[in-house]
Structure 1
Amino acid sequence: MSESKAQDVIEQVEDCTLPADNKLAIGKLDVRTLKKITESCRECPENAYTPLEPRTLDEMGFIFDESIKCHLMCNQENLKVAIAKVVEDRMYTDVQVKVHGHIFDCHLAVLQVSTEYFKQFSSTNLIVLNVPEVTKLGFEKAYEWMTKQDASPPREGIVDLYLAARFMQMPPLINQLWYCFENIEFFREGEAFKLYLQAVPYETSTLQSLLLTRISRFFLSAVATVEYLKLKPEQVYDMLRTSIISVNSEMEVFMSAFRWMMYDWEARKAHTELLMRAVRFNLMPAWYILSLKTKQTLPELKELLDNPVVQSAINVGLSYTVTQHFMNSDSGLQEPLQMQQAQQREWIIDDIAPHHHMYKCPYWQYLNYELFNIYLEQVITAGPHFYKTLKAYKPSNLMPCCQAVLQNSKYISDI
């Protein structure tokens, strides 16, 4: 209120001329009070004031505890299930992997967590994999292993899976696969040979060596197959030199090598010395070795046996067999003559083959290349379970006609 206005109010109050509504407004204010108001107005000139400086909450002392004393919890199990569903169903994928022309929609984070190979890629839309080791099936099964808790490798594609895991650097998966490979109940006999054939085109020497020890009683069935005839010479050599192959006699090993060479004689006879190193002539009976030194009617067999290296191996085998036959196992000449027991094969008996009879049995027939092929025809006719009918070599498993002969035989070379 200005001084002039205040003075007017005072005068009106004193003269009792103040409007009735204003009198009610000032209430019980007396003249003295109004004079004080007037004096205050004189002391504070119009338009003169002190500005108020703004203050923040912190400047005014209002500092709050930043933590909120309540618990916000997500259900972790539900979260895991939801994330697993997104990954497994390939929802919201962010990268495509192209494997030999086939497109896979994937999560890059899953690939990077599960492999070392994909860690080299940053955010990208497409990754191309055109290496021989990673097939469409191999990558598909590897990604299933990454995304599914209950993924199990199929027998048909386990080599593809192994090669893909090895290329993409997946140690946990490789360890699990080796557990399968090393378990003799998973891969043995025919399955081992089939898996071996799948592994031979690749650099998998350790796996191949392991599988060769599992072929065992399936060996003769394998020799009857086209797949055996198409093996490389080094692969045939590795197969024939394995002690675990099941044969009735070392002559079958010799004939198996010759059968592979006869499939393409002109091209394969150059591998004669390699394959004959796998044959243990010192495990053959002396009479059979002598038959190899006689004149041969089959031209290819004659050419093979005329090879000087083969002739030397036959002579050493004959000397060993004859000497071992007449030398006691405790003779003092064993060590000087290096006549320690030769490493044996896994000897079996098949009573449907004439040459499986003992040499002195009246039903015995000489094993030549023609008879060997006839025998393999019998193996093929017997079907895929033929190898299960083979018996371990022991007296109780011999045919009745050979039982008497065995009683008078001291050495396996008499078979």
Structure 2
Amino acid sequence: MGETNVEETIKQDEEGTLAIDTKTVKLDVRTLKKIIECCQENQADTLEHVTPCSLIDMGFLFDESIKCNLICNQDSLRAAIAKVVENGIHTDVKVIVHGHTFDCHLAVLQVSTEYFKQFSSTNLIVVNVVQLTKAGFEMAYEWMIKPDMIPHRSKIIELYLAARFLNMPHLINQLWYCFENIEFFREGEAFKLYLQATPHPTATLQSLLLTRVNRFFLPAVATVEYLQLKAEQVYDMLTTSVIAVNSEMEVFLSAFRWLMYEWETRKAHTELLMKAVRFNLMPAWYILSLKTKQAQPELAELLSNPTVHSTVNGGLSYTVTQHFIHSESPLHKPLQMHNTQQREWVIDELAGHHHLYKCPKWQYLDYEHFNIYLEQIITAGPHHYLTLKPFKPSNFLPCCQAVVQNCKTIADM
């Protein structure tokens, strides 16, 4: 196919015909004709749309793992969440306890307790039970949202009851750590907490606290709160071996003091309370004095009770014979000659009956003198019990030192 020099300039004339300048373009006739035909065609009529294709269809495959680590500042996150919780921001549930409304976060309640897990989605929870008080729930929720919550001593029983009702094992464990720490609750503090615990079903805690009363026993007996205890609670208190007394006579008169407060209604508990008295720890001379005719009608009635009378006689038999009956003697078992657990024996220099029996300054301890002694304790102040000394020869008063050599046991003194 021959070539031709196209000398015309390509341009569009008045009729729309394209003119091509062929001075600079050398084309064969067929190609030139084809170009002119394509340019003259209406391209809009022949335009075809391209079908879209995805990256995957085109064969582009990418590595989905990105070689970089995006780290959230967990400390900042925890601090922000703590701020929201502690300040009560965006609370989503109202808890009403005995008419008092608390704005809370349900998630916090469910994480900290087993009780609130039963509520899946709600904005109002009403709790009206004896075990959960307003103060108890308030402190329990404060424990949930604050890392350094310190409960008030006067409300700690309410917090304990709340923790038990709401089923909060972690809080219960922490409270028991406090209860079992003797430095937190001992003697006077233990008795005060015991009084707070007695209206509630807290038998284990009450038993623990009674073992801490110790030297505060007699000051406790001098209080109105002691006189307001139930008979079973007085019995539990008197049966504790670690109560600090100078003699078992004080235990006997402590029981009698409670009975005398409302004699006509309380004398029905005589046998129960006398079971708590260890008559076989009393000296024989004192038991003999109880067997004589009593001028005080109430005391005479108490000692005439058949069960009490038998108990007193058993104590006298033990006291009289304990020094003479060998442990292998055939009389040992019939006389029930077993070693009775002692109390925490102490000496109080202010009390006349705290002198040894054979000391010239000794005074007989009857109910009148016992009440005088309790008045002395009250007058001495709340910390007088700290001055009590263990009952041992080195702590005896000078006037009692002379009789120590002739006494073999506490019962002899």
Normalization by structure 1: what TM-score?
0.89
| One-letter amino acid matched to 1:251 | M
Deviations 1:271-326 (A, max 9, x none): 01100000001111111111111111111111111100000000100100000144
Match of 1:85 in 2: 83
Q: How does 1:152-163 map to 2 (within 5 A)?
A: 152-163=150-161
RCO higher in structure (CA 8 A, sep ≥6): 1
Deviations 1:116-162 (A, max 9, x none): 11111122112122212222222122112111111223222221111
Match of 2:3 in 1: none
In the alignment, is the contact (CA less than 8 A) between 2:187 and 2:212 conserved in 1?
A: yes
In the alignment, is the contact (CA less than 8 A) between 1:243 and 1:344 conserved in 2?
A: yes
Match of 2:289 in 1: 291
Match of 2:184 in 1: 186
| One-letter amino acid matched to 2:54 | T
In the alignment, is the contact (CA less than 8 A) between 1:325 and 1:411 conserved in 2?
A: no
Instruction: Flag the 1:17–1:39 CA change in 2: closer, same or farther, 3 A.
Output: closer
Match of 2:387 in 1: 389
Mind listing any 5+ residue stretches in structure 1 that lack a counterpart?
Answer: 1-12
Tell me the CA shift for residue 30 of structure 1.
6.2
**What SS does the corresponding residue of 1:23 show, helix, strand or coil?**
coil
Mind listing any 5+ residue stretches in structure 2 that lack a counterpart?
Answer: 1-7
Match of 1:177 in 2: 175
In the alignment, is the contact (CA less than 8 A) between 2:95 and 2:127 conserved in 1?
A: yes
Structure 2: distance between partners of 1:31 and 1:232: 128
Higher mean C-alpha displacement, 166-175 vs 246-255: 166-175
| One-letter amino acid matched to 2:322 | Q
Structure 1: distance between partners of 2:398 and 2:327: 29
**What SS does the corresponding residue of 1:304 show, helix, strand or coil?**
helix
Structure 2: distance between partners of 1:340 and 1:237: 22
Deviations 1:41-69 (A, max 9, x none): 99999957876544333322234444444
Higher mean C-alpha displacement, 137-146 vs 280-289: 137-146
Higher mean C-alpha displacement, 201-210 vs 30-39: 30-39
| One-letter amino acid matched to 1:373 | N
Deviations 1:248-285 (A, max 9, x none): 01011010001001111111001011000000011111
Q: How does 1:313-352 map to 2 (within 5 A)?
A: 313-327=311-325, 334=332, 337-352=335-350
In the alignment, is the contact (CA less than 8 A) between 2:234 and 2:273 conserved in 1?
A: yes
**What SS does the corresponding residue of 2:345 show, helix, strand or coil?**
strand
Tell me the CA shift for residue 389 of structure 1.
0.9
Which of residues 356, 359, 372 is equivalent to 2:357?
359
Match of 2:141 in 1: 143
1:241 aligns with 2:239: yes
In the alignment, is the contact (CA less than 8 A) between 2:12 and 2:18 conserved in 1?
A: no
In the alignment, is the contact (CA less than 8 A) between 1:283 and 1:321 conserved in 2?
A: yes
1:115 aligns with 2:113: yes
Match of 1:230 in 2: 228
Which of residues 119, 123, 133 is equivalent to 2:131?
133
Match of 1:410 in 2: 408
| One-letter amino acid matched to 2:378 | I
Deviations 1:182-235 (A, max 9, x none): 111111110000000011111111100000000000000000000000000000
Match of 2:19 in 1: 23
Aligned-pair identity in percent equals 69
**What SS does the corresponding residue of 1:103 show, helix, strand or coil?**
strand
Normalization by structure 2: what TM-score?
0.90
Instruction: Flag the 1:201–1:36 CA change in 2: closer, same or farther, 3 A.
Output: same
Tell me the CA shift for residue 335 of structure 1.
5.5
Structure 1: distance between partners of 2:396 and 2:38: 138
Instruction: Flag the 1:124–1:18 CA change in 2: closer, same or farther, 3 A.
Output: closer
Which of residues 198, 201, 204 is equivalent to 1:203?
201
**What SS does the corresponding residue of 2:402 show, helix, strand or coil?**
helix
Deviations 1:350-391 (A, max 9, x none): 121111111122211211111111111001101100100111
Which of residues 94, 97, 102 is equivalent to 2:95?
97
Instruction: Flag the 1:273–1:31 CA change in 2: closer, same or farther, 3 A.
Output: same
Structure 2: distance between partners of 1:404 and 1:52: 125
Match of 1:250 in 2: 248
In the alignment, is the contact (CA less than 8 A) between 1:134 and 1:167 conserved in 2?
A: yes
Matched positions, count: 404
Instruction: Flag the 1:210–1:25 CA change in 2: closer, same or farther, 3 A.
Output: farther
| One-letter amino acid matched to 2:283 | P
In the alignment, is the contact (CA less than 8 A) between 1:95 and 1:107 conserved in 2?
A: yes
Tell me the CA shift for residue 327 of structure 1.
4.0
**What SS does the corresponding residue of 2:96 show, helix, strand or coil?**
strand
Structure 2: distance between partners of 1:17 and 1:375: 136
Deviations 1:4-33 (A, max 9, x none): xxxxxxxxx79x995699435787476824
| One-letter amino acid matched to 1:358 | L
Instruction: Flag the 1:42–1:191 CA change in 2: closer, same or farther, 3 A.
Output: closer
| One-letter amino acid matched to 1:23 | A
Match of 2:166 in 1: 168
Structure 1: distance between partners of 2:43 and 2:236: 117
Structure 1: distance between partners of 2:88 and 2:106: 11
